[in-house]
Amino acid sequence: MREKILNLLYNNSRITYEDMAVMLGTTKDVIESEIADMENEGVICGYTTMVNWEKTDTERVTAIIEVKVAPQRGLGFDKIAERIYKFDEVESVSLMSGGYDLAVTIEGKSMKEVAIFVHEKLAPLESVLSTSTYFVLKKYKEHGVTLVDQKKTEGRMMITP
């Protein structure tokens, strides 16, 4: 039951308890109780709204930063990850396998703002060995939601001489 509730909420966090109860063949009270339990246990961590910023007048820049770090004895990567995710600019931090250790996603108002964050806050951290910053040019799909008009991306027009 929990997985079904989580899937419903993941796809539409505005779905009502009543609608979930009907879809899952149970009562509103059962749904409400399960969700409250999952919130208390930290399974459900929050509710967000997805915004396609490209369709607004707001200027935003997203950057993905590869970070190589020296893990601390007895703490591994957790302590440095915690220091990084506490910055307001940081949207996400993930421990990675491969050529770098942490993937950090941040958002800023401009490329300059992102550069200042990397230069003044991220790179100087004691355990950080190196960073590589990549700017997101366009988002096509995020959190399972397509952000572009399907008609515009279906294919190329054929041009004949």
* Residues 40-97: tens digit of each pLDDT: 999 998 888 877 778 888 889 999 999 999 988 887 899 999 999 999 999 999 999 9
- Residues contacting 138, CB < 8 A, separation 6+: 54, 148
Q: Which helix (H) or strand (E) element contains residue 135? A: strand 128-135
What digits encode the pLDDT tens for the residues 97-155?
Answer: 999 999 999 999 999 999 999 999 999 999 999 999 999 999 888 877 888 877 654 55
Return the pLDDT at 10: 87
The answer to whether residues 1 and 35 touch, using CB atoms and an 8 Å cutoff, is no
Q: Is the pTM of this model over 0.85?
A: no
Query: What is the spatial distance between Cα 27 and Cα 47, in angstroms, rounded to a whole number?
Result: 22
Return the pLDDT at 147: 84
The per-residue b/e assignment along 45-83, b for 16 or more CB within 10 angstroms, e otherwise, is eeeeeeeeeeeeeeeebbbebbbebeeeeeeebeebbeb
Return the pLDDT at 157: 56
Six token digits for residue 61: 């820049």
Return the pLDDT at 156: 57
Query: What is the spatial distance between Cα 92 and Cα 5, in angstroms, rounded to a whole number?
Result: 24
